[in-house]
Structures are given as C-alpha cells and as structure tokens.
C-alpha cells in the first residue's frame, strides 16, 4: 500500500483537486499535518510514500497550497497513528466508549439488517450485519478505505477481485476496499457478520450495502 510516487500517478489516494468549498472548510489543517508528521519522526518522502502521495503534493498540503480530500486525510491519519478528528482539530466531548446491546437499533436497507456496534463520528465504523440469502449478491463494490469482517453465524461467499472465498463461522477477512468485492450468504438462513470499515463519515448503509439498484457501482 520503493521509490516515491510520481505526482500525477493514479492510485487509492489520487491527487485530485479539492471538493467545492473544501478550501474554506479546512483552513488550519496544513500546520497540523506538518506537526503530526514531525511528531511521528517521518520525513516528507517517507510519509508521502506510506500515504500513497507524492512528496511534492504532501508538501503543498502542509503549506496550505492545496486542501486534502477525505480519503487523503484518512490515509495520513493512519500513517501518523491518529484520528482524522485530530487532523481537523476537532474534539468530541462526552462520547461513550461502550455501546450496550439494548441501545443497538436494527436498521433495514437493501434487504440487509445492520446494527451500529460503535460510536458515530469515528474514523472507522463498526457494525453487526445480517445478510439474507440472495440479497444484493450481484452488487460489486469498489470504494476507498479498508474493510474487516468476521463471520458469526452461517457461511459467507466473498469475492475479492478474481478470487472467490468461502468463510465459515470464526473466519475473518481484511482487505482494501478498492479491490472489487462482492458479499453473499451461502446458506438459506443468511449469514451474520461483524463488520468494520474505515471510510470516513459515510452512512452505515452506504458502507455495507453499496449502491441501490439503478445506482452506479
């Protein structure tokens, strides 16, 4: 995820122009990026390589000449061993570390049922998911981030790129979400999963369900 990456190379964190309005929304990110890199004792070249950026682009981010996209912020937070909220200078007070079973409200979408198993607003989201047999098994997902899943009950069919895997209870998978992937239940009773995703600030349904029919994968 060697040599430095060319500035205009495509990859998981392609160096696109900032989203509209983002430059005004992130005025103080640049000095934090530099301070956290130095705190991590990383050179500009090493940090850029680990985040999938070019040193020139990271330098522009640190001097405020460009604003980072959300996937870039997530990548840099991982490299520096911190949360995206720290890069943004945000603090969240009074957030509980424990989520009680009685407080997990089920939500149904696209045939799947999921329960929030972690606090909202974090750099990653944790879910408990029930995937019924035959539901959305034809949807291929490709998006930034990482996913980790663990089979609690039933059997899961997981396709990663050209490779097909069958996971039984107790099995896990951890993969880059830019790898085209497809999830389906093997058993008619469906499959229950623990599911963790690192895509910042995305609705839980979008994380685990992907596009609905008619949307672009």
Could you tell me the pTM of the whole model? 0.55
pLDDT at 27: 54
Task: Name the residue with tokens 């880059």.
Answer: 176
pLDDT at 172: 97
pLDDT at 22: 41
Mean pLDDT of 38-58: 89
Token digits for 217?
């994968």
Q: Dihedral (C-alpha) 27, 18, 83, 86: value to the nearest 10 degrees?
A: 0
In a 3-state reduction of DSSP, which class is residue 102? helix
Burial label for 133, CB within 10 Å (0-12, 13-18, 19+), is middle
Token digits for 42?
């990383």
Mean pLDDT of 159-181: 94
Say whether pLDDT at 23 is over 80: no
Say whether pLDDT at 193 is over 90: yes
pLDDT at 161: 94
Which is more confident, 62 or 16?
62
pLDDT at 19: 39
Which is more confident, 39 or 21?
39
- Of the candidates 147, 198, 143, which has an alpha carbon nearest to the alpha carbon of residue 13? 143
Say whether pLDDT at 7 is over 50: no
pLDDT band for position 50 (cuts 50, 70, 90): confident
d(C-alpha 38, C-alpha 70), whole Å = 21
The predicted-structure confidence for 170-179, as pLDDT tens digits, reads as follows: 999 999 888 9
Token digits for 54?
């070019």
Mean pLDDT of 188-216: 61
pLDDT at 190: 96
């Amino acid at each position: 995820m060697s040599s430095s990456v060319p500035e205009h190379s495509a990859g998981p964190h392609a160096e696109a122009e900032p989203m509209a309005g983002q430059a005004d929304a992130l005025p103080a990110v640049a000095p934090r990026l530099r301070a956290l890199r130095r705190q991590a004792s990383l050179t500009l070249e090493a940090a850029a390589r680990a985040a999938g950026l070019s040193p020139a682009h990271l330098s522009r981010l640190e001097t405020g000449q460009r604003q980072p996209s959300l996937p870039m912020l997530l990548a840099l937070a991982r490299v520096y061993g911190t949360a995206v909220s720290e890069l943004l200078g945000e603090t969240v007070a009074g957030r509980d570390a424990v989520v009680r079973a009685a407080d997990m409200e089920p939500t149904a979408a696209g045939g799947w049922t999921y329960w929030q198993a972690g606090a909202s607003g974090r750099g990653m989201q944790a879910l408990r998911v029930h995937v019924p047999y035959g539901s959305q098994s034809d949807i291929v997902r490709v998006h930034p981030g990482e996913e980790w899943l663990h089979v609690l009950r039933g059997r899961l069919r997981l396709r990663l790129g050209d490779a097909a895997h069958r996971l039984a209870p107790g099995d896990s998978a951890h993969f880059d979400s830019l790898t085209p992937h497809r999830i389906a239940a093997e058993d008619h009773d469906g499959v229950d999963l623990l599911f963790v995703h690192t895509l910042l600030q995305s609705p839980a349904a979008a994380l685990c369900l992907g596009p609905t029919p008619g949307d672009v994968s």
